[in-house]
Amino acid sequence: MPYFKTRDNVELFYIEGGSGNPIVFVSSAWLSSEMWEFQMPFLIEQGCRCIAYDRRGHGRSDRPWEGYDYDRLADDLAALLEHLDLSGVTLVGHSAGCGEVVRYLTRHGSARVDRIVLACGTTPFPMKTADNPVGVDRIYMEADLALRTADLAQWYTNNAASFFGIGLAGISVSPAQTKFMIQQCLECSPRAAYAFFVTGFTSDLRRDLEAIRIPTLVIHGDQDMQAPFVICGQRTAELVPGSQLKVYENAAHGLFLTHADRFNADLLTFARPHRKPAESSSSRTDRPASTSARRR
């Protein structure tokens, strides 16, 4: 199986297939490269080269005790791109993985990366502070961590329905598929599950987003409970100059599965090598962002 070494000698697993314009997937917290099974086959068939990897502490990668801050994780992503000597890359992040994508750009530049996709991102800054009053109070994060520590398997099980949006009109996920995704999460080391969640919740990426100068597509569900649209997707799109915002109605955090056909089509269109660059004016969207704000 293919592995590469990070700068601190941690071995990380990756998978790749296809040829042509490279798309590199950065997974959600706790999930591994297997979460992209709904995207990679389709995009490879459409002539793209697809690469996904297991973050440290996740899946088949090494499980060090340290290194779950965005700086180190961005360095891990850089090590992958350097190992494969990639250029013209489309980076696709999901959830807290979007933070790695954003921090990679501010830490390593865009010489290898042409465009990014931020799907259901926890950016820009989930935690409530004096200058971030729309965030979530840290006390709720700490209470949630206590529940996870007491029974991690049960916590994943209890939150599966809201992750996929089960119960929303048109959303159907089989019990077997739900169990499979929970098992992926359980394969993440408890240390990584704890430390990376804290990183995603407490990291302020507002300035990082404002510094982005390459085409950026923000995709978010208007029923996302894990990364609420109003404080995450909408604000992310507002901060990235010239970003494009696509709001999926009736979609939750796991839209890569529940809305795979639409998501795949949007990724393919955006990743095409000869597409026009993003507009330099204010963020564009498929529909007014205020519509989603009123719905919540």
Per-run averaged pLDDT (10 residues), the chain, 296 residues: 94 97 97 98 97 98 98 98 98 98 98 98 97 96 92 95 95 95 96 96 98 98 97 98 98 98 98 55 42 31
Which residues lie below 8 Å from residue 124, measured CB to CB, with a gap of 6+?
204, 205, 206, 209, 232, 235, 236, 239
> In angstroms, rounded to a whole number, what is the distance separating the alpha carbons of residues 52 and 16?
7
Can you give the residue ranges of every domain in the chain?
Answer: 3-295
Active-site residue, selected from the candidate residues 203, 253, 259, 266 = 253
Q: What is the pLDDT of residue 294?
A: 30
Q: What is the pLDDT of residue 116?
A: 98
- CATH 1.10.10.10 correct for 3-295: no
Active site annotation includes 224: yes
10's enclosing H/E stretch is none
Do 113 and 231 form a contact (C-beta atoms < 8 A)? Answer: no
Q: What is the pLDDT of residue 286?
A: 54
Active-site residue, selected from the candidate residues 95, 189, 203, 283 = 95
Q: What is the pLDDT of residue 272?
A: 84
Active-site residue, selected from the candidate residues 75, 76, 208, 224 = 224
Q: What is the pLDDT of residue 258?
A: 98
| Phi, psi (degrees; rounded to nearest 5) at 52 | -140, 150
